[in-house]
Amino acid sequence: MSTSSPQRRMLGWIATALVAGLALVGCSNTGHGGTQTQPQPALEEVEVLENPRDYVGPSTAVLQSTDIEPIAQNPKQSLPTTVTSYQANGQTEEIEITDTTRVVALDIAGSIAATIWALGFSDTLVGVDQSTTFPGTEDIETVTSGGHTVNAEAIIGLDPDVVITDGTVGPRDVVEQLTDVGIDVVFVDNESSFEGAENLVHQVAAVYGAPETGEQLAEQLVGEIDAKVEEISAMVPENEDDKVRMLFLYLRGNAGVYYMFGEESGADELIDALGGVDVAEELGWDGMKPMTDEALVAANPDLILTMSGGIESVDGVEGLLQEKPAVAITKAGENQRIVDMDDGMILSFGPRSADVLDALARAIYAPDSVANLAGGQ
């Protein structure tokens, strides 16, 4: 893998869009959530729609719990250790890590901090990005601002031994310059995919000198995702023509940002795991590109996936249909079939991937089962 991969470019674009857009319109941030007060039945127990393509009305996917359960507590480490850091030019650098007592984790989705937590090294975290909002992180210093911009002074003030990042927050040169004050900076290769989440576990575990724990967590992650995909497959119509045609839209209304996500954007893996038909793939749409009326009408999705902050930025479903008439004439628009999920969750491949799939499956195939749930991601 290299830092020039399509997934990397997707995340880099989102970082740029957030700098331009979120600072203007704000983003959905539900804060440090916890377990839902109203428990949900298992997927096999919910009442599945007879024809999910024809359902009318929007739905919000809600995690039953945002807690991250560590696979171990302060696992055994073997330091010093040497790890690979991925540079912006596609080259790699070998870095020796001698101490992980104080660590700062930075990426646009909070995936690195979540991985550290799941590995059992939560006590080492002294600084995190603003997307890291899961329970237990309330008192950890946030070192990125509203535009996902790194505050170098704040990081230096924390006196970390290591900064683990992936280049999706920055400016990157500011992060790289932290080495000038004696801080080890490791750039991991963090692809927006289920396989990428597995690889991230191995890379972060390597920084901590705990490859065995990384292997254990990676196996658990893959097993949970595979099991959840199998559960979801039982909810999906058997006939190919009855499967839900889905499209992922990235919306930032007040900033005029409307993008369709296609192959190798992360959205394609999500749709595939959910048993949907990726209409962007049908169009040969790769990566992420500005939404056009022609492409949207040609795609004609039954259902649109998006971020909660995105739908809020266009004043809800009605606002989206008014602002973008081309959406209104698609089947998804006619039925107001929009499924949204918290910005920091829906494409955050990591320790909670199986839970994200579970929540989205309920919103897509059994929306009445989540209609009365209280919010709070």
> 265 near 259, Cβ under 8 Å?
no
- pLDDT reported for residue 371: 64
- The whole-number pLDDT of residue 38 equals 61
Is the full-model pTM beyond 0.85?
yes
Q: Under 8 Å CB-to-CB from 338, ≥6 apart: which residues? A: 58, 59, 303, 304, 306, 311, 317, 320, 332
Tokens 């959205």, residue?
Answer: 267
Tokens encoding 173: 């040169």
Ranges of beta strands (E only) in the chain are: 59-61, 81-86, 92-97, 103-106, 125-128, 141-142, 162-165, 184-187, 245-252, 257-261, 277-278, 288-290, 303-307, 338-341
pLDDT at position 213: 98
pLDDT for position 373:
53
Cis peptide before 301 (omega within 30 of 0): no
Write out the two tokens for 310: 């995105």
Strands 125-128 and 162-165: unpaired
Q: What is the pLDDT of residue 344?
A: 80
Instruction: Please give the Cα distance from 65 to 355 (Å, whole number).
Output: 8
The two three-digit tokens of residue 345, written as one number:
């969750």
Spatial CA neighbour of 110 closest among 125, 130, 127 = 130
Identify the pLDDT of residue 107.
92
Q: What is the pLDDT of residue 16?
A: 38
Task: Give the pLDDT score at 159.
Answer: 97
**Cα–Cα distance measured from residue 236 to residue 27, given in angstroms and rounded to the nearest whole number:** 32
Each residue of 58-102: pLDDT tens digit? 999 999 888 999 999 989 999 999 999 999 988 999 999 999 999
The tens-digit pLDDT sequence of the chain (377 residues) is: 333 454 444 444 453 344 334 433 344 444 444 344 467 888 999 999 999 999 999 999 999 888 999 999 989 999 999 999 999 988 999 999 999 999 999 998 899 999 999 999 999 999 999 889 899 999 999 999 866 789 999 999 999 999 999 998 989 999 999 999 999 999 999 998 999 999 999 999 999 999 999 999 999 999 999 999 999 999 999 999 999 999 999 998 878 889 999 888 889 999 999 999 999 999 888 888 899 999 999 999 999 999 999 999 999 999 999 999 999 999 999 999 999 999 888 988 999 999 999 999 999 999 988 865 544 33
The answer to whether 23 touches 313, Cβ cutoff 8 Å, is no
Tell me the pLDDT tens digit for each residue of 275-331. Answer: 999 999 998 888 888 999 999 999 999 999 999 999 999 999 999 999 999 999 999
